[in-house]
Amino acid sequence: MAITPPSERIWWRQPIARVELIWICLAFTWGLIMFFMMIYWHGAGQQNLSSEAYQIKPERFAERAQAMIDNYQVREENGFPVVRPPAGSDVYLIARLWQWWPILELEKDQSYRLHLSSMDYQHGFSLQPVNINVQVHPGYDMVMTLKPDQAGEFGVVCNEFCGIGHHMMVGKIYVVE
């Protein structure tokens, strides 16, 4: 029940005021523009990753990551292997409580296929300060093509709450010239 009921019982049959009709048309037109811009920007924008997802057993993914480490490890840093795979190769990064493993060292202006998977819970891969965000699920190999265009040290942050040590889940990717 309204505080002041409409004067006419069937209010929706009343004519719409001109000003109100103009605002309805403007809002509808703006909504259409935004809808079609989303479709356009998804195809033409440079922010979209070319990602693929495949089912994989966590043990199998860990084997692939370990094989990469065995072949391309260049040093160790704080107990983590630092891996420098050749340009154009597949690189593997494991998310698990509460670490990203191993540390990657990639070459500037070279393409890599980055494989991400979790060994335990859902994690979020956030590459900072580049703003690449991907959900990482156990049992899935998330694959994306990366081509770093600037050298430096980049942080990998988990942006999906994964437990009491979530705030310490930080990894590194080095990009060298």
Please tell me the pTM assigned to this model: 0.75
Each residue's pLDDT tens digit, 111-163? 999 999 999 999 999 998 887 889 999 999 999 988 999 999 999 999 999 99
> What whole-number percentage of the chain has pLDDT above 90?
74
CATH 2.60.40.420 fits 51-176, yes or no: yes
Domain boundaries, the chain: 11-44, 51-176
Buried b (16+ CB within 10 A) or exposed e, 85-118: beeeeebbbbbbbbbbbbbbbbbeeeebbbbbbb
Residue 14 pLDDT class (50, 70, 90 cuts): confident
User: Could you check whether the bond before residue 102 is cis, i.e. omega within 30 degrees of 0?
Assistant: yes
